């Protein structure tokens, strides 16, 4: 299954939200590699797992794999339901997508500052 297949089988609101995220990822990183690691669309940046996204039963999520870099967005993520590496959301209105794009924009160029640099490999 490809990432496109994963998204195409979702209901229309989830399909729209994850396609917005997917487009943002490719806009920011045109050469990023899209795989299906972790049984969800996963994105490799310069050979390292940068992020993944998923549609779960009760929410959608963006997973930032060098999750220690999320500490830089503690204030912006107030009001979000967050786990160690995931940012959960039920919908993707303009304010939320803007914050997620800011995070994605920050993580790529700062990946080498993560304690996980060189240690995050995709499970295929």
C-alpha distance from residue 74 to each of 18, 20, 56, 79 (Å) = 23, 23, 23, 10
Look up residue 43 and give its two tokens.
């994105």
- Backbone torsions φ then ψ of 105, nearest 5 degrees: -65, -35
Q: Would you kindly state where each structural domain of the chain is located, as residue ranges?
A: 3-113
Chunk the chain into consecutive blocks of 10 residues (it has 124) and report each block's average pLDDT, rounded to whole numbers.
Answer: 91 93 96 93 92 94 94 92 93 87 95 75 47
Residues written for the chain: 124
Domain 3-113 has CATH 3.90.1150.200: yes
Note the pLDDT of residue 122.
46
74/124 Cα distance (integer angstroms): 31
Q: In the beta sheet, which residues pair with residue 45?
A: 48
39/42 Cα distance (integer angstroms): 8
Look up residue 104 and give its two tokens.
């994605």
Note the pLDDT of residue 47.
86
């Amino acid at each position: 299954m490809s990432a496109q297949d994963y998204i195409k089988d979702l209901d229309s609101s989830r399909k729209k939200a994850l396609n917005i995220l997917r487009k943002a990822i490719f806009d920011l990183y045109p050469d990023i590699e899209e795989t299906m690691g972790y049984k969800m669309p996963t994105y490799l940046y310069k050979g390292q797992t940068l992020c993944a996204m998923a549609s779960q039963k009760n929410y959608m999520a963006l997973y930032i794999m060098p999750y220690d870099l999320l500490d830089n967005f503690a204030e912006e993520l107030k009001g979000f339901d967050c786990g160690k590496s995931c940012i959960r959301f039920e919908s993707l209105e303009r304010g939320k997508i803007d914050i997620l794009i800011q995070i994605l924009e920050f993580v790529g160029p700062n990946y080498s500052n993560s304690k996980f640099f060189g240690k995050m490999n995709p499970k295929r």
